[in-house]
Amino acid sequence: MGKKKSKKISDSAYLKLQEMITDGLDSVLESMNEVLKNYPYPEKEAGAKEKPPVILIKKDKGKEKKKKD
């Protein structure tokens, strides 16, 4: 085989691989869109924002410092 023919074969193989990857990604995106369409989103009232709960963290001060004389 000459260089031109092997170049054409490698180019066609590369294009075929790109086409397969693109088709695979398209099918994944379509299935993800279907999942998102069917996801049960909770209904919220307009203007009502939920605030996250405030979490307070207390440090344990079990050991007291001893005074040196």
- Per-residue pLDDT, averaged over 19-32, amounts to 92
pTM given for the model: 0.42
CA 52 to CA 39: how far, in whole Å? 23
Q: Is the confidence at residue 69, as pLDDT, over 70?
A: no
| Plot region of 40 (φ>0 → left; ψ -120 to 50 → alpha; else → beta) | beta
Q: Is the confidence at residue 68, as pLDDT, over 80?
A: no
